Structure 1
Amino acid sequence: MTTRDVAQAAGVSLGVVHYCFENKDALMTELVKALSMELRDSVDADESVWDDAGTGKEALQKLVRRGLELMWRNIEATPERQLLTYETTTYALREGESTPAKLAIAREQYGFNDSTIADVINQCSGATETRWNTPVPTLSRFMLNVIDGIVLRWLVDDDSESVQTQLDLLAEMITAHAA
């Protein structure tokens, strides 16, 4: 992907892209932030998720699953954006071998996503009056690892039905670490 490609896709001149972004790394960093925020917003946009959550582990599992479903709806509606996140990560990893600042793009993306998931599961435990027995950063990193795998596999085989079962299992696995 080049800045020329971005300008063409955005319908603006190359000069506009260069005016807005210092370099390709700055563009990629902002792209990663925007894609990550979009996923977070997919959960935050539906305030009814938190209505009448109930209390206890069963309520926690249902709430975590609802949050995963809201994220999944966004993912499923935007397969080309999901592919772009993998391409961005691959670009950052490949270029990061020679330029550590580029590796920072992927690290920032994953760090932001980890903290987003941590915020959501903390909110879930607060709403259901439960607590986590495993450190939240460990749980959020694990969830992100599983979600990454689910999305990548879905991009390969487009099996949304299997994804639903996997999200059920993920919610069950995560809430096994709560009291």
Structure 2
Amino acid sequence: MARMSADERRAQLVEAAIAVMTRDGLAKATTRAIVAEAGVPLGVFHYCFDSKAALLERVVATLHERSVERVLATPPTTGSVRDVVRATLETYWQHVITHRDEHRLTYEVTQAALHDPALAGVARAQYELYLHTNTEAMVTTADRLGVTFTVPVASLSRYLLSVLDGLTLNWLLLGDDTTAAAVLDLAADHVAALTRSA
């Protein structure tokens, strides 16, 4: 077995966990299944993670980073506030479409956490991460475009998270691309209407 740092091993186990969970579902992602996928002994898991909850926190953070990295790395810079917001939403939405199993997995984690007190911190950290990223993106966009929001950013961030969270789950169930696009249009209209020149 190649020698790796603890951080490299954690990353390897996270990737293995994502592979098992997206393929077989969260319920079948035992520590044994995960280490088998990674091709490492069981002891490696216990060396890298104190618990399965700790692994799930890292899985959620990794999936989140993947879903927003393009949004944060290449934000649209031209057009009206509405156009920029809509383009940002579209960049995120394309990740949903092309990585539907990863997004489905995030809902599985949330549902599991609602039933298992040991995982409650995982779901809380998951949604706090979503809110933090939404807030960061909105503040950065407003600064770049020279606008301010007419409502508290924290409230707007939670509102937009609720829209995207509900829309993603709806799309995963129904696969209605036309309605999803219309909802994203409406969300962009609404966010833009809640801005004014700084």
Change in Cα spacing, 1:10 to 1:68, as seen in structure 2 (3 Å) is: farther
Q: Percent identity?
A: 33
Mapping 1:30-49, distance limit 5 Å: 30-47=58-75, 49=76
Q: Quick one: which amino acid aligns to residue 56 of structure 2?
A: M
> 2:167–2:180: 8 Å Cα contact kept in structure 1?
yes
- Which residue of structure 2 aligns with residue 19 of structure 1? 47
Size of the aligned set, in residue pairs, is 168
Name the larger-Rg structure. 2
Give, in whole Å, the separation in 1 of the partners of 2:149 and 2:130.
19
SS at match of 2:148: coil
- Which residue of structure 2 aligns with residue 60 of structure 1? 81
Give, in whole Å, the separation in 2 of the partners of 1:163 and 1:9.
35
Give, in whole Å, the separation in 1 of the partners of 2:136 and 2:90.
16
Establish whether residue 143 from structure 1 lines up as the match of residue 164 from structure 2.
no
* TM-score normalised by L of structure 2: 0.79
The runs of 4+ residues in structure 1 deviating greater than 2 Å are 4-19, 44-47
- Which residue of structure 2 aligns with residue 7 of structure 1? 35
Name which structure has the greater RCO, CA cutoff 8 Å, separation 6+: 1
Establish whether residue 113 from structure 1 lines up as the match of residue 130 from structure 2.
yes
> 2:72–2:137: 8 Å Cα contact kept in structure 1?
no
- Which residue of structure 2 aligns with residue 88 of structure 1? 109
Give, in whole Å, the separation in 2 of the partners of 1:129 and 1:167.
23
Structure 2 unmatched ranges of 5 or more: 1-26
- Which residue of structure 2 aligns with residue 79 of structure 1? 100
- Which residue of structure 1 aligns with residue 7 of structure 2? none
Establish whether residue 133 from structure 1 lines up as the match of residue 150 from structure 2.
yes
* TM-score normalised by L of structure 1: 0.87
- Which residue of structure 2 aligns with residue 159 of structure 1? 176
